[in-house]
Amino acid sequence: MKLCTRLSLLVFALVVAQENPLEPGLPTLRLRYPASAWIEPGTSLLKSHTQSLPIISAMDLDHKATYLLLFVDLDVVYGSTATVALHWYQPNMVATSHKKDDDDNILVNLTVGAEYIAPRPPPNTHHRYVYLLFDQPADYKFPVCFSHIFPPTAEARAGFDIRQFQSVAQLHSPVAGNYFIVHVDDPPSLPLPPSQLTPTTTTSLTTTSLRSAPCQGATTAPVTALSSACESEGWTQVVMSHEGGKGG
Ligand SMILES: *[C@@H]1O[C@H](CO)[C@@H](O)[C@H](O)[C@H]1NC(C)=O
């Protein structure tokens, strides 16, 4: 039965692996990493180039507005569940200046959110990393039912439901977004701890959450209770290698 599950996941994965996850027509969020060029949606980046915070241009943004940023990995398997992992939640972002110059005119965070976790896809996988920028309403309040997201751990960050967050935080649709594929360029380090996020591919921003609607009841399902089958190391790596090395 596990094998069947894996085979159907395989077929599915091959079809959707590099699908553009952004809504058609969504303006591109202009950003780059210190070591990269400005990122076109779907670009492939080396993991080593994504370890520090990105530089986000405010050129196409409203200089009087306050923004809220989400950065997620869409292509995660946590235990046996395909899911989304939150890499950065950042409210209170504003433009630094009105200059028409990319280097001066950037979006900065005035406070701490859920700390940036740099991309760390396992070797031989292609994870899609997505930035979504939202207008932050003047009366924005952080939804307390998402209070679990702050530690920079797999347990805290896996199973992030973007649409539910958007809904309970009362955010409108994103005003800009971007995505890229990260390729591992450094040698594999130590073996992954059991709770490490492992690779797969998923379809879209609506991926199943590991948490059962945390904002609708008093309790949240502990993520660890759901990790079980299909944890054998490496099967997705084998699957992914059939796609070839090109991302995007
Ligand atoms: C901005 O966000 C980063 C990444 O999470 C964080 O390390 C930094 O402390 C924040 N800056 C301020 C001024 O809070």
Residue 78 belongs to domain with CATH number: 3.90.280.10
Give yes or no for residue 211 having a pLDDT over 70: no
Nearest-angstrom CA–CA distance, 56 and 108:
8
Q: How far apart are CA 248 and CA 183, in angstroms?
A: 11
Where is pLDDT greater, at 66 or 19?
Answer: 66
Give me the number of domains the chain comprises: 1
pLDDT digits (tens, 9 = 90+) for 231-240: 222 222 222 2
Residue 237 lies in a domain: no
In a domain, 22, yes or no: yes
How many whole angstroms from its chain centre is CA 108?
19
At 239, list the tokens: 């699957």
Residue 244 inside a domain? The answer is no
For the CA of 109, the nearest atom of ligand 1 = 1
Give the pLDDT confidence of 121-150 residue by residue, as tens digits.
Answer: 988 888 999 999 999 999 999 999 999 999
* 122 φ/ψ angles, rounded to the nearest 5 degrees: -65, 160
In a domain, 23, yes or no: yes
Strands 198-199, 127-135: parallel, antiparallel or unpaired by DSSP?
Answer: unpaired
CA of 175 to the centre of ligand 1 (A): 22
In the chain, where does DSSP find H-type helix? 2-16, 154-157, 162-168, 235-241
The yes-or-no verdict on residue 154 having pLDDT over 70 is yes
> Is 67 contained in some domain?
yes
Q: Is the pLDDT of residue 187 over 90?
A: no
- Closest ligand 1 atom to 113 CA: 5
Is 64 within a domain? yes
How many angstroms separate the alpha carbon of residue 91 from the centre of ligand 1?
Answer: 10
- Residue 85 has which token pair? 């992992």
Look at residue 188 and tell me if it is in a domain: yes
Residue 234 located in a structural domain: no
CA–CA gap between residue 244 and residue 87 (Å, rounded): 26
The residue segments making up the domain with residue 185 are 3-225
